Amino acid sequence: MKNRLRVLRAERDWSQADLADRLQVSRQSVNAIETGRFDPSLPLAFKLAKLFSTPIEQIFSDEE
Amino acid sequence: MNIRLCNKELSPLQRRTMQLFGANLGFTAVLSLATHDLVKDMHPSALFIYLTALLPTIPVVGIVVVVSRYLARETDDFIRMLVVQSLLWGLGITFVLDTYLGGLFSHPQIFRLIPILNIDLFCVSVGIAVRIQLWRNR
């Protein structure tokens, strides 16, 4: 699954650690999601959408 | 010195789990050795042997409870996935080593150096697997 997390994070000038703190997860989780090695759970995806004030489908797409 | 996981301080849940895990592991080793010596020195009845052999299994059940509780309460999905993968690696390595050592020690000419508990093998394997997983995902 592809995502725009890195772009959205960069737009806000947040580091991975900043985003991890806001999501209350480890920095490794953010890194794994950004690099596509880990797909977040639905609650975490909703949390991301709420944090970036963006619909989930604008953050994640099912392209390989 | 504080233990660090994922380059950040352990959460209270992770710290508590590590403490309980270590304590149960210690109890398992102590009870295994103690009951072994007790049975060896006392020449007890078969029923007593069966009952005392159950004692070291209590902290093993404790370890299962501690790990289950941790997995149920860990809110970080990615860390939970790493821990589950490490547990599976630990199980696999324990089965392989147990099969190998079982075959090896069944031969009388092979001297059994130290009593090795499967739970020790499992915990060491899981610990190594967790470190490797964290290093790969640093």
> pLDDT tens digits for A14-49?
999 999 999 999 888 999 999 888 999 999 999 999
Q: Are B69 and B17 in contact (CB under 8 A)?
A: yes
> pLDDT tens digits for B59-107?
999 999 999 999 999 989 999 999 999 999 999 999 998 898 888 888 8
Number of other residues whose CB lies within 10 A of the CB of residue A53: 7
Instruction: Indicate the pTM of the whole model.
Output: 0.79
Q: Look at A25 and B6 and tell me if their CB atoms are within 8 Å.
A: no
pLDDT of residue B78: 92
pLDDT of residue B115: 64
Spell out which residues of chain B touch residue A29, defining contact as CB-CB under 8 Å.
76-79
Confidence of residue B1 (pLDDT cuts 50, 70, 90): very low
Residue B129 distance to chain A (closest CA, Å):
16
The answer to whether residue B114 scores a pLDDT higher than 70 is no
Q: Look at B6 and A28 and tell me if their CB atoms are within 8 Å.
A: yes
ipTM computed for the complex? 0.82
Q: Tally C-beta pairs within 8 A across A and B.
A: 37
Following DSSP, what letter does each residue of B75-96 receive, concatenated? --HHHHHHHHHHHHHHHHHHHH
CA distances for A3 relative to A21, A33, A49, B49, B80, angstroms: 19, 8, 12, 60, 22
Q: Look at B76 and A29 and tell me if their CB atoms are within 8 Å.
A: yes
User: What is the residue-averaged pLDDT of chain B?
Assistant: 84
- Token pair 């020690």 in the structure block, residue: B105
Residue of B nearest to A38 (CA): B78
Q: How far apart are the first and last CA of chain B?
A: 21
Identify which of A16, A8, A11 has the alpha carbon closest to the alpha carbon of residue A55. Answer: A8
pLDDT of residue B5: 53
Confidence of residue B8 (pLDDT cuts 50, 70, 90): low
**DSSP percent split of chain B into helix, strand, coil, nearest 5:** 75, 5, 20
Q: Look at A26 and B6 and tell me if their CB atoms are within 8 Å.
A: yes
